[in-house]
């Protein structure tokens, strides 16, 4: 007999009476009603149903990280609170990928036939550590874990704390689902809003001796340690601290005590090893860049947790190494979601002259309301995760015109023509066509694209969460470190994971400025760009057709460090002469596939 539940707003949900999984706090039931297809309900056991739990889940529902799922990962995040007889009992969340297995089955030295039953041979062949294809498959898992973990960390409010293999599910193709998300720590800055409660000793870093997850703020660097252990176990089949030691460590038997003593088997104390399990020997044949990641996570990070590689660092190094693979495995690499032009993980990182920048894929729309009034269509496009930094501008142009110096601050004092010249040179260097976004594309990305929640500013209705503007910058004394522009990425990103689209510097757009531009755009026009007293498809525009002596006005969007919050709203448009350069004007890269 199905169980009838209701959401907070009164929607009825029917779930199967028998759970298909259970854990320490509750059981998981599949939803059978049509209003939440592809979902399940976590029903807490009676002793775990309390007001604090309800408030925590409600906070997570209202504050989800961007990009909770893709073709290669799913973060099973709470969607709705559920009630029975008006009493809180749990929440609705997305189901994991169909056919998923527990990740812990792959961290063992060998796969166990009883874990996979009739599919054992298929899984064994796919993830065989003795075969190149098996290692590639395991690296795919590491990549997808890194991407999903980075997605959560990028929101800067959530730390897993109890990250371990049992928190992940995987498919035969390497797709990853994160489960048990309701156990995370939630914080605002260093203030804990909801603690994580527990952590598993074998995955806890050395600072766990002084920090209590149920009471203290746990930094994100804690997760970096746990994640690195999972990667080591996936690649080598055992924990990175498993060995017998001699000398002062001869009685150090428990894993947590070895972690406390800094006894990573390939680290600075390896001379104290008495017996080293043979599986650790495979560490010697991995690329040096992988070795460095593990050494930073376990050895360097023992005394300085900030040296541990982030999930983003892992993903970048994995991509770099896998892109060096022989041609016969390039097809496999594409399936890993690493190829820049695939649809599985289209976001990518470009490195030019030693400086990297990230591009975010934005799905197009057939019914975007430009300026909230004119219905237009937009093809999908890439937009830079950050405003163009001084380091990147220097690497491409060879000079840095900015008034507020700092490699990670946005370049400013660049005219529209300077910005276009930069994109042209970058295009020549990379073979990809970079330019500036049109006004419509900029506004669509700033509002969060298909993930938009309708915020006034890019990522929030609270300006201080997302922007550098007059109250936290120009209103300060000129000698204050925060006077002027701030480092890119300092504030919360928008729904797409794009930073600083409100505040910091005004951003040049490709369009010429027209006050009543909506009157010139036909309904349902594709990729509108206003130029030369008319509207064209932005894909057909050639910037070389705009004369260098053109004194017409160009569009600026986003607000800046010395303007008020009203100017930082995503709907606001202003303009400046295309030749103007000011210490509050910069730009952001754009690209069509």
Cα end-to-end span (Å), the chain: 51
| Spatial CB neighbours of 534, under 8 Å, sequence gap ≥ 6 | 520
> What domains, with CATH codes, occur in the chain?
3-94 (3.30.200), 101-335 (1.10.510.10), 358-591 (3.90.1580.10)
Q: Mind listing the pLDDT tens digit for each residue in 110-142?
A: 899 988 877 899 999 999 887 878 888 898 899
Q: Which residues contact 382 (CB under 8 A, 6 or more apart)?
A: 346, 359, 360, 361, 362, 590, 591, 592, 593
- Token readout for 294 is 């593990």
Q: Is the pLDDT of residue 281 over 90?
A: no
pLDDT of residue 374: 94
329: confidence class by pLDDT, cuts 50, 70, 90 = very low
The pLDDT of residue 327 is 35
Pairwise pLDDT comparison (466 vs 354), residue with the higher score: 466
CA pair distance 15, 32, nearest whole angstrom: 5
Averaged confidence pLDDT in the chain: 90
Averaged pLDDT for residues 329-346: 36
H-type helices in 403-454, by residue range? 416-430, 439-446
- Of 304-318, 321-335, 361-375, 398-412, the poorest mean pLDDT is in 321-335
524 vs 63: CA distance, rounded Å: 33
Tokens 């295309």 belong to: 578
* pLDDT level of residue 248 (50, 70, 90 thresholds): very high
Q: What was the pLDDT predicted at 285?
A: 79
Residue 326 has pLDDT above 80, yes or no: no
Predicted pLDDT at 335:
30
Whether 108 has a pLDDT exceeding 80, the answer reads yes
d(CA 117, CA 398): 61
pLDDT in the model for residue 323: 65
Q: According to the per-residue pLDDT averaged within each range, which of 128-137, 338-347, 579-588 is highest?
A: 579-588
> Interior CA angle at 70 toward 67 and 72, to 5°?
135
> For residue 324, is pLDDT > 70?
no
Per-residue pLDDT tens over the stretch 144-155? 999 999 999 998
Q: What is the mean pLDDT of residues 180-186?
A: 95
Long-range Cβ contacts of 412-415 (<8 Å, 24+ apart) = 412/485, 412/505, 412/581, 412/582, 412/583, 412/584, 412/585, 412/586, 413/581, 413/582, 413/583, 413/585, 414/508, 414/581, 414/585, 414/586, 414/587, 415/578, 415/579, 415/580, 415/581
Indicate the length of the chain as a whole number: 593
Nearby residues of 356 by Cβ (< 8 Å), 6 or more positions away? 316, 349, 350
| C-alpha–C-alpha distance, residues 296 and 106, integer Å | 24
If residue 125 lies in a helix (H) or strand (E), which one and from where to where?
A: helix 120-126
Residue-level pLDDT at 544: 65
Burial of 91 (0-12, 13-18, 19+ CB in 10 A): buried
**Rounded to 5°, angle at Cα 493 from 490 and 498:** 110
- What is the predicted pLDDT for the residue at 334? 32
Share of the chain above pLDDT 90, in %: 74
Give the three-state DSSP class for 254. Answer: coil
pLDDT digits (tens, 9 = 90+) for 439-493: 999 999 999 998 899 999 999 999 999 999 999 999 999 889 899 999 999 999 9
Q: Is pLDDT of 342 > 90?
A: no
Burial class (CB in 10 A: 0-12, 13-18, 19+), 59: middle
The pLDDT score that the predictor gives to residue 293 is 96
Greatest CA separation for the chain: 81
Across 57-212, the runs of DSSP E, i.e. the strands, are 73-75, 78-84, 87-94, 101-102, 158-159, 168-170, 176-178, 185-188, 191-194
- Averaged pLDDT, 246-265: 95
> Residue 22's pLDDT is what?
85
Residue appearing with tokens 């104390």: 269
In sequence order, what are the beta bridge partners of 370? 374
* Residue partners of 545: CB distance under 8 A and separation at least 6: none
- 3-state SS, residue 535: strand
From CA 139, how far away is CA 147, in angstroms rounded? Answer: 12
Query: Alpha-carbon distance 419 to 557, whole Å?
Result: 14
Q: How confident is the model at residue 549 (pLDDT cuts 50, 70, 90)?
A: low
CB distance 176 to 522 below 8 Å: no
How large a percentage of the chain has pLDDT more than 70? 94
Mean pLDDT of 49-59: 96
Six-digit token string for 498: 């794009």
Q: Pick the more confident residue, 320 or 510.
A: 510
Q: Considering only 32-46, 92-106, 163-177, 339-353, which range has the smallest mean pLDDT?
A: 339-353
């Amino acid at each position: 007999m199905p169980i009838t539940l209701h959401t907070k707003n009164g929607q009825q949900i029917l779930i199967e009476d028998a759970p298909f999984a259970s854990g320490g706090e509750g059981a998981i039931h599949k939803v059978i009603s049509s209003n939440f297809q592809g979902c399940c309900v976590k029903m807490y056991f009676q002793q775990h149903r309390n007001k604090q739990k309800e408030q925590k889940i409600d906070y997570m529902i209202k504050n989800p990280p961007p990009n909770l799922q893709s073709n290669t990962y799913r973060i099973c995040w709470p969607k709705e609170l559920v009630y029975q007889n008006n009493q809180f009992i749990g929440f609705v969340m997305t189901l994991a990928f169909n056919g998923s297995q527990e990740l812990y089955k792959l961290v063992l030295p060998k796969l166990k036939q009883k874990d996979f039953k009739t599919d054992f041979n298929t899984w064994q062949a796919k993830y065989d550590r003795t075969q190149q294809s098996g290692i590639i498959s395991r690296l795919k898992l590491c990549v997808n874990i890194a991407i999903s973990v980075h997605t959560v960390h990028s929101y800067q409010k959530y730390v897993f704390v109890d990250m371990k293999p049992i928190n992940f599910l995987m498919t035969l193709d390497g797709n990853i689902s994160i489960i048990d998300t309701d156990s995370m720590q939630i914080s605002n800055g260093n203030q804990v809003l909801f603690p994580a409660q527990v952590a598993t000793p074998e995955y806890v870093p050395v600072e766990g001796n002084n920090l209590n997850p149920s009471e203290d703020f746990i930094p994100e660097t804690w997760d970096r340690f746990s994640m690195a252990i999972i990667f080591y176990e996936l690649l080598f089949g055992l924990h990175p601290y498993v060995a017998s030691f001699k000398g002062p460590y001869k009685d150090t038997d428990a894993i947590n005590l070895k972690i406390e003593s800094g006894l990573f088997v390939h680290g600075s104390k390896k001379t104290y090893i008495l017996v080293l399990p043979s599986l650790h020997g495979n560490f010697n044949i991995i690329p040096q860049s992988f070795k460095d990641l593990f050494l930073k996570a376990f050895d360097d990070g023992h005394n300085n947790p900030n040296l541990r590689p982030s999930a983003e660092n892992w993903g970048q190094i994995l991509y770099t190494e896998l892109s060096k693979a022989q041609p016969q495995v390039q097809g496999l690499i594409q399936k890993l979601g690493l190829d820049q032009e695939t649809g599985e993980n289209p976001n990518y990182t470009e490195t030019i002259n030693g400086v990297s920048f990230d591009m975010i894929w934005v799905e197009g729309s057939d019914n975007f309301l430009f300026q909230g009034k004119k219905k237009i269509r937009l093809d999908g496009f890439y937009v830079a995760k950050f405003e163009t930094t001084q380091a990147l501008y220097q690497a491409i142009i060879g000079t840095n015109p900015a008034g507020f110096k700092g490699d990670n601050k946005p370049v400013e004092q660049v005219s529209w023509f300077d910005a276009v010249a930069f994109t042209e040179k970058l295009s020549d260097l990379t073979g990809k066509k970079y330019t500036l976004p049109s006004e419509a594309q900029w506004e669509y990305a700033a509002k969060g694209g298909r993930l938009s929640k309708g915020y006034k500013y890019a990522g929030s209705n609270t300006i201080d969460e997302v922007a550098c503007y007059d109250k936290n910058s120009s209103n300060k004394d000129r000698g204050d470190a925060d006077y002027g522009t701030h480092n890119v990425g300092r504030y919360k990103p928008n729904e797409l994971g794009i930073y600083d689209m409100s505040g910091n510097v005004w951003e040049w757009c490709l369009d010429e400025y027209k006050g009543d531009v909506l009157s010139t755009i036909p309904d349902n026009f594709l990729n509108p760009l206003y130029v030369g007293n008319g509207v064209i498809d932005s894909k057909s525009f050639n910037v070389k057709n705009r004369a260098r002596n053109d004194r017409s006005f160009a569009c600026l969007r986003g607000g800046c460090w010395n303007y008020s919050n009203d100017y930082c709203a995503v709907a606001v448009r202003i303009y400046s002469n295309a030749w103007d350069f000011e210490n509050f004007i910069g730009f952001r890269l754009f690209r069509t596939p």
